[in-house]
Amino acid sequence: MAGPGARWDPAVRRAEELVAALERLEGARPPEPVGRGALPAGASEGPCAGTVTVLVECRTPPPRLLVFGAVDFAAALARVGRFLGMRVTVCDTRPALTTRARFPDAHEVVVDRPERLLAAEAAAGRLDRRTAVCVLGHDPAFDVPVLREALRLPVGYVGAMGSRRTHRDRLRRLTEVGLRPGELARLRSPIGLDLGARTPEETALSIAAEIVALRRGGTGGPLTDAVGPIHRGAPPPAAPTAGSGAPGSGRATGRPAPGRPGDRSRPLSPGTPGPARAAGGRPGR
């Protein structure tokens, strides 16, 4: 707030003129959404001759987790997905089972054909390489159409629940509807890492672990048996520069702080080899 006498200050008067001019311009035309397009270049035609500072914020939406199949495993996976910061959608065709009460941790609960919802989300540009698609049903009439759609989209993770026998039958059916070997190779089935999971919560943990391992470039194996840096992709320590001080001297050395490797998140690449599985695998569910 301007104090006494400030009204005579030229800078204050100029600021008041700029504010008034902006207020007049506010009602001139509706705001134009920029979205993913570019800002037009050119000189301002407004009444102001001063400098305008514009703040531009880039907001990246959270990664998507689409769970198809209104089963107990889906409720547990929705909880874990939300905990990991993903935007969770649960979809099924059965209204009696697909309710907000059964899936309180999901951001969206949708009653629709899974393949139709997936196609609509893709057409709207809301899916990307960070998206994970999990099919938890055991009905070929439910699974095959949505998997056919998902495996042809540039999403990062496609997993399906079922035993190894179910997986073999599913591959046969997907081949019959026209999927190629390269597309089928993207399917993570049986879904999840081999943790010996049995309960819905344990199974959700194994699925989330596989998604994280694929995103971060991990193997899915125990760190006890791993060789090399724990945090994959960490930059090597920088060499001391002139005047930086020797290690242990208490002066800056240019090295990253211990235990703070930074965010090395990367998209889930459709063609990235997935985490290694232990010999024998997890018993089929």
- By residue count, the chain amounts to 285
Residue among 211, 65, 69, 87 nearest 146 (CA)? 69
Cβ burial, residue 76 (10 Å; 0-12/13-18/19+): buried
Tell me the DSSP string of 45-101.
-SS--S---------PPPPEEEEES-SHHHHHHHHHHHHTT-EEEEEES-TTTS-TT
pTM over 0.75: no
Residue 235: enclosing H or E segment and its boundaries?
Answer: none
Q: pLDDT (tens digit, 9 = 90+) per residue, 124-153?
A: 999 999 999 999 988 999 999 999 999 999
pLDDT at 279 over 50: no
Helix axes 140-150, 114-123, angle to 10 degrees: 20
What's residue 22's pLDDT? 67
Please identify, in words, the CATH class of the domain defined by 64-218: alpha beta
What's residue 254's pLDDT? 37
d(CA 216, CA 264): 7
Q: What is the rounded average pLDDT of the residues 263-276?
A: 44
Q: What is the rounded average pLDDT of the residues 152-169?
A: 96
Q: What is the rounded average pLDDT of the residues 63-90?
A: 98
Q: pLDDT (tens digit, 9 = 90+) per residue, 206-247?
A: 999 999 999 998 988 888 888 888 876 654 444 444 444 433
pLDDT at 198 over 80: yes
d(CA 215, CA 188): 14
Tell me the DSSP string of 174-185.
HHHTT--HHHHT
SS3 223: helix
Q: What is the rounded average pLDDT of the residues 258-285?
A: 41
SS3 126: coil
What's the order of all strands across the beta sheet hosting 132-135? 108-111, 87-92, 64-68, 132-135, 157-160, 187-188
Higher pLDDT: 271 or 23? It is: 23
pLDDT level of residue 42 (50, 70, 90 thresholds):
low
Higher pLDDT: 50 or 153? It is: 153
What's residue 78's pLDDT? 98
